[in-house]
Amino acid sequence: MDALHIAGIRFAEALQSGPPWLEKFWISVTSLADPKSVFTVCFPLAYFLDRKVGVSVLWIGLVSEWLNVVLKWFLFGERPFWWVHESGLASKELVTLRQFPVSCETGPGDPSGHCMITGAALWPLVTALTALASRRSRSLAAKLSPFGAYALLLLAVGLSRVFVLAHFPHQVVGGILAGAALGWGLQARTLAACTSGFFIAAALALLLSSLALHSLVIAAGIDIDW
């Protein structure tokens, strides 16, 4: 893993050595793509456009947020900002990295929550826009434009997370793939007709299962809060 981590550090150095105007861009992207935006921005907009799509965005966002935490408990994953010092690399080689206010994230880093949760939650919205574009236009470019924008957005989010030293590139790739797979797998299961009681019960089940899993892992002698 050290070789993979070192390659990631060098990639982050290359990103940070870019034009000064890109710094503000990457920081803006990583701030706007915070998973909270799924619930405060994406869900209300999607719900306004179509109730079914809005509920799917909210549901998938909730499940992906839960699954991301669980995956991090088992995959762990170093954070570049901390690893470069804890590994001793900074004392052995010249490392030219800059710190930003959003760099000092703690906790496991694999997979990237920004990429996974955003990628999963936006999937039903993207597929709905693709279907709408297909009905309105015969142009292949128009039909594929929603997925093109989706791919570019996730690429930008992933690069921004590497830029601010919150994640290594492989954690970003894992987050994007996991998010897209989760969105694809869940969006076909329509939940718009479910009662509010179902969602309350599901939320409680996710909460209690995560607490139980946390206790079991701690009892097994694994410090997931390292």
Q: What mean pLDDT comes out for the span 197-218?
A: 89
Q: Say whether pLDDT at 190 is over 70.
A: no
Kindly report, residue by residue over 1-39, the tens digit of the pLDDT: 788 998 998 999 999 988 888 999 999 999 999 999 999
The pLDDT of residue 192 is: 66
Considering 5, 114, 170, 214, which one is annotated as catalytic?
114
pLDDT at residue 166, as a whole number = 92
| Residue that the structure tokens 């809060």 belong to | 225
Given 85, 167, 170, 214, which residue is catalytic?
A: 167
CA atoms within 13 A on the CB side of 135: 5
Residue 98: pLDDT band with limits 50, 70, 90: confident
| CA 192, chain centre distance (Å) | 24
Query: pLDDT tens digits, residue range 77-94?
Result: 889 988 888 888 877 887
Residue spans of the domains in the chain: they are 1-220
pLDDT tens for residues 119-142? 999 999 999 998 888 888 778 788
Tell me how far apart the alpha carbons of residues 122 and 42 are, in angstroms, rounded to a whole number. Answer: 8
Task: Compare 191 and 108 and report the one with higher pLDDT.
Answer: 108
Q: Is the peptide bond before 19 cis (omega within 30 degrees of 0)?
A: no
Place of tokens 């890109």: 22
* Tens-digit pLDDT profile for residues 36-67: 999 999 999 899 888 889 989 988 999 999 99
Q: 225 exposed, middle or buried (CB, 10 Å; 0-12, 13-18, 19+)?
A: exposed
What is the predicted pLDDT for the residue at 140?
78
Q: Is 114 a catalytic residue?
A: yes
- Active site annotation includes 170: no
Q: Indicate whether 108 pLDDT > 70.
A: yes
Q: What percent of the chain has pLDDT over 70?
A: 98
The overall average pLDDT reported for the chain is 88
pLDDT for residue 180 = 94
